[in-house]
Amino acid sequence: MVSFSIVAIQRKKNLRAGAAYLLMIAVQCGIAVGFDTGPHFDLTQAVLSERGFGDDAIKITQVENWLTDYYSSSPTIAGSKRDELEKLHFDNLFTTDQVINYWSQLINNVRTETQNAARQDDPLAALTVLGIALHAVQDFYSHSNWVETHPRPSDGTYRTDTYAQYANSKTTLKSLTLFTGKYPTDRTYGPGPDRIPANVQIHGDYESGLNHDSLVRPRWDQAYVFAYAASHEIVEAIAKWADETRPGFWKSVISYAVDTNLRKKLDYDVSALRNMSMWINGKGADGHWKGNKSGSKRFFSAFSTKWIGSDSSVFVRQMRDGTASRTLSSNLYSGALPPPMPDLPRFSLQRRAILVRTLKIKQQSDSGNLRSEIGKLAAPDYYARTRIGSQEFCSRTIQGSSESIDPWQEIYFAALDDVNVPIRISVWDEDDIDSAKDQATDINPVIGKNTLDLIFNTATGQISGDLSGNFNSPETAFTSSGEKPDKKRAAITAYVTQYPLK
């Protein structure tokens, strides 16, 4: 009996190892769907924390948001489920009418599935709906020509007039030519019954196409700000539908918390979403956390084999085995005329965007290692952790490069009355699949201190703290570097600037 179950466990493990192998194959075929995982993750963090969500509820939503991408291409899920999830990225809509119908159907589906979760008094189901809904809504701004049809004013403000604000003004919408990109590039049919028209724009990759998936693409920042406003709108609407169905239910959703054991699993899923997106590497893909250059076959393989081989958490099973993706994706491409789109509340928060942009990171020539050691060591794999106000951002890793231009950019949304915004920048050298083992790189001339601690004054635009001055453009950027005897030193050139949201 015992030996039999060991055999069964072994077989199960082999199956999972097989799944990991298949995943590697799939990765080598090239996978890219949506805003990169990093922007989805940061937007979800920003919006849900502003709306009073607890940490566990935010993490669960971030995981479900990511799984919407992951299971759209992973061979570790049933093909029918993959087909459902593949529809939730606003791809392959080539006319304004198709865009309008998709929006109407999607928001109706989100309302229905929110009401179902509320009726069943099931907060985890509601968080799953929320994660998928946020993913799709955010993808619209990353995948469509919305930013091109709503250009940024010359005064530098960011626009927040989202699709939902025009949804019930068909005359306005029909005066626009809206479409999204073809994905994947070699698609000839579908996902609906129709053949793809000739000469449509493709979703593209890091260098080309319609997408605004990451900071390496033009107008990514504008898509990101629209997606921020739109995320607020959809969360507010979901909250309203939830409480109309079951008064008080929403409170249980935003304060949903798990026990210590389950939190460990949740944190493991969060590290999976970061690591697997960071390291995905194969034909066409060189990382999809925040742009390219972060791919690592070795790390991806080592981490994903372990994560896929472990027992799936209830959060993963919720997506893999649940019905949310079926309801939410239904009729999105069927060609059937959808019911009118439910009204979404208009984004009305008073916010400014604070941008922290790194123009250059460069290893110091004599970085404190012995010359003989340098010969043996590969170039550093730098990434930054940046805390702006209350939000922590993790950048992409630039693999194997002692000097990198324009590696990182983070956008934080601050309340207008937030005058002194603290900013902490630290740079790390990625050495292990466990980031806790990574070593800090010294970017601060103060002996014994690695990080830069700054205060950005939004009233004056001045920076104080470890540096002082006005560093608000590429021309006036600061450069700060570590000093001996500190080891592992680098020089960082960066600036901090702000724009209001209108």
In this complex, which beta carbon is closest to Zn ion, that of residue 37 or of residue 304?
Answer: 37
What is the closest distance, in whole angstroms, from the C-beta atom of residue 35 to Zn ion in the complex? Answer: 7
In this complex, which beta carbon is closest to Zn ion, that of residue 33 or of residue 276?
Answer: 33
Residue with tokens 């080598």: 28
- By CB under 5 A, the count of residues binding Zn ion is 5
What is the rounded CA–CA span in Å between residue 412 and residue 200? 34
In this complex, which beta carbon is closest to Zn ion, that of residue 219 or of residue 306?
Answer: 219
What is the closest distance, in whole angstroms, from the C-beta atom of residue 66 to Zn ion in the complex? Answer: 10
Contact between 34 and Zn ion by CB under 5 A: the answer reads yes
What is the closest distance, in whole angstroms, from the C-beta atom of residue 376 to Zn ion in the complex? Answer: 41
Asked if residue 480 lies in contact with residue 491, where contact means CB atoms within 8 angstroms, the answer is yes
What is the closest distance, in whole angstroms, from the C-beta atom of residue 261 to Zn ion in the complex? Answer: 31
What is the closest distance, in whole angstroms, from the C-beta atom of residue 385 to Zn ion in the complex? Answer: 25
What is the closest distance, in whole angstroms, from the C-beta atom of residue 69 to Zn ion in the complex? Answer: 5
Pull the structure tokens for residue 66.
């990511």
Asked if residue 427 lies in contact with residue 383, where contact means CB atoms within 8 angstroms, the answer is yes
What is the rounded CA–CA span in Å between residue 397 and residue 260? 30
Asked if residue 363 lies in contact with residue 379, where contact means CB atoms within 8 angstroms, the answer is yes
What is the closest distance, in whole angstroms, from the C-beta atom of residue 142 to Zn ion in the complex? Answer: 8
Site string for Zn ion, 52-91 (x = CB under 5 A): -----------------x-------------------x--
Laid out side by side, the sheet with 351-363 consists of 403-415, 351-363, 490-500, 478-481
Pull the structure tokens for residue 65.
């948001």
Question: Which strand (E) or helix (H) includes residue 129?
Answer: helix 123-143
In this complex, which beta carbon is closest to Zn ion, that of residue 183 or of residue 428?
Answer: 183
Of residues 33, 147, 238, 501, which one binds Zn ion by CB under 5 A?
33
What is the closest distance, in whole angstroms, from the C-beta atom of residue 138 to Zn ion in the complex? Answer: 8
What is the closest distance, in whole angstroms, from the C-beta atom of residue 129 to Zn ion in the complex? Answer: 16
Asked if residue 285 lies in contact with residue 31, where contact means CB atoms within 8 angstroms, the answer is yes
What is the closest distance, in whole angstroms, from the C-beta atom of residue 202 to Zn ion in the complex? Answer: 15
Asked if residue 397 lies in contact with residue 278, where contact means CB atoms within 8 angstroms, the answer is yes
Site string for Zn ion, 245-274 (x = CB under 5 A): ------------------------------
Task: Round the CA-based radius of gyration of the chain to a whole number and report it.
Answer: 23
In this complex, which beta carbon is closest to Zn ion, that of residue 146 or of residue 478?
Answer: 146
Which of 233, 103, 230, 105 is CA-nearest to residue 179? 103
Q: Which of residues 130-149 bind Zn ion (CB under 5 A)?
A: 139
Which of 34-42, 184-192, 402-410, 413-421 is the region at the interface with Zn ion (rule: CB under 5 A)?
Answer: 34-42
Report the residue closest to Zn ion, judged by CB. 34
In this complex, which beta carbon is closest to Zn ion, that of residue 139 or of residue 286?
Answer: 139
111 burial (CB, 10 Å; 0-12 / 13-18 / 19+) is buried
In this complex, which beta carbon is closest to Zn ion, that of residue 33 or of residue 130?
Answer: 33
Which of 25-33, 207-215, 396-404, 445-453 is the region at the interface with Zn ion (rule: CB under 5 A)?
Answer: 25-33
Neighbouring C-alpha atoms within 13 Å toward the C-beta of 43? 37
In this complex, which beta carbon is closest to Zn ion, that of residue 143 or of residue 489?
Answer: 143
In this complex, which beta carbon is closest to Zn ion, that of residue 69 or of residue 381?
Answer: 69
Which of 33-41, 108-116, 278-286, 348-356 is the region at the interface with Zn ion (rule: CB under 5 A)?
Answer: 33-41
What is the closest distance, in whole angstroms, from the C-beta atom of residue 161 to Zn ion in the complex? Answer: 23
Neighbouring C-alpha atoms within 13 Å toward the C-beta of 461? 11
What is the rounded CA–CA span in Å between residue 211 and residue 336? 27
- From residue 218, alpha-carbon distances to 207, 213, 223, 333 in Å are 10, 9, 10, 28
Q: Which of residues 87-126 bind Zn ion (CB under 5 A)?
A: 89
Contact between 205 and Zn ion by CB under 5 A: the answer reads no
What is the rounded CA–CA span in Å between residue 169 and residue 38? 33
DSSP 219-246: THHHHHHHHHHHHHHHHHHHHHHHHHHS
In this complex, which beta carbon is closest to Zn ion, that of residue 139 or of residue 269?
Answer: 139
427 contacts: CB under 8 Å, gap ≥ 6: 361, 382, 383, 384, 440, 441, 443, 450, 490, 492
In this complex, which beta carbon is closest to Zn ion, that of residue 59 or of residue 203?
Answer: 203
What is the closest distance, in whole angstroms, from the C-beta atom of residue 154 to Zn ion in the complex? Answer: 31
483 phi and psi angles, rounded to 5 deg = -125, 150
Which of 27-35, 107-115, 172-180, 293-301 is the region at the interface with Zn ion (rule: CB under 5 A)?
Answer: 27-35
In this complex, which beta carbon is closest to Zn ion, that of residue 140 or of residue 471?
Answer: 140
> Footprint of Zn ion on this chain (CB under 5 A)?
33-34, 69, 89, 139
